[in-house]
């Protein structure tokens, strides 16, 4: 089942990238009591993700926080070390990286796709969502190959 507006984020483990290394956290605890802008991309260092998606949220981080967003997080079916290197290469200190190495989170919310024909295996669809105290209040899922409704500008326009 694909997650929808009004649904609670399912309970699963995610890996938060920290300065001290990977930190396993439960999604229940991570989203509890806060407003999080969660953005998913098919892969760190991939063209659209690196050239447009992440930079847009880095540029708009202050505006999102001014609208009440407590944290901006990016997730991808990559390991914590790749996500950490991507953050560092993009000067994305304002963004929390959540590694979904096995795709468990993407699977739990019904947002996977098969990227095998591109040599990528199971991946997350591209989307942005606003999660308030564990409940999805905005959800913007891209059509395959597109980049518009999951952008920082679009999410800002909906808050």
Q: What are phi and psi of 24, to 5 degrees?
A: -75, 125
Q: How many Å apart are CA 135 and CA 157, to the nearest integer?
A: 19
Look at residues 59, 39, 103 and name the one whose alpha carbon lies nearest to residue 77: 103
Active-site annotation, residues: 49
Other CB atoms within a 10 A radius of the CB of residue 111 amount to 21
Which helix (H) or strand (E) covers residue 105, if one does?
Answer: helix 104-108
What are φ and ψ of residue 103, in 5° steps?
75, 15
Name the β-bridge partners of 111: none
Please say whether the beta carbons of 56 and 151 come within 8 A.
yes
């Amino acid at each position: 089942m694909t997650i929808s507006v009004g649904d609670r984020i399912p309970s699963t483990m995610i890996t938060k990238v920290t300065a001290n290394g990977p930190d396993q956290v439960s999604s229940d605890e991570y989203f509890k009591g806060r407003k999080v802008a969660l953005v998913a991309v098919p892969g760190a260092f991939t063209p659209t993700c690196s050239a447009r998606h992440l930079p847009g949220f880095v540029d708009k981080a202050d505006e999102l926080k001014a609208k009440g967003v407590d944290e901006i997080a990016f997730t991808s079916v990559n390991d914590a070390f790749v996500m950490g290197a991507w953050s560092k290469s993009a000067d994305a200190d304002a963004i929390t990286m959540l590694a979904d190495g096995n795709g468990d989170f993407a699977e739990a919310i019904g947002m996977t796709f098969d990227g095998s024909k591109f040599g990528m295996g199971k991946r997350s669809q591209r989307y942005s969502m606003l999660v308030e105290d564990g409940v999805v209040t905005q959800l913007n899922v891209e059509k395959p190959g597109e980049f518009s409704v999951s952008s920082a500008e679009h999410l800002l326009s909906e808050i």
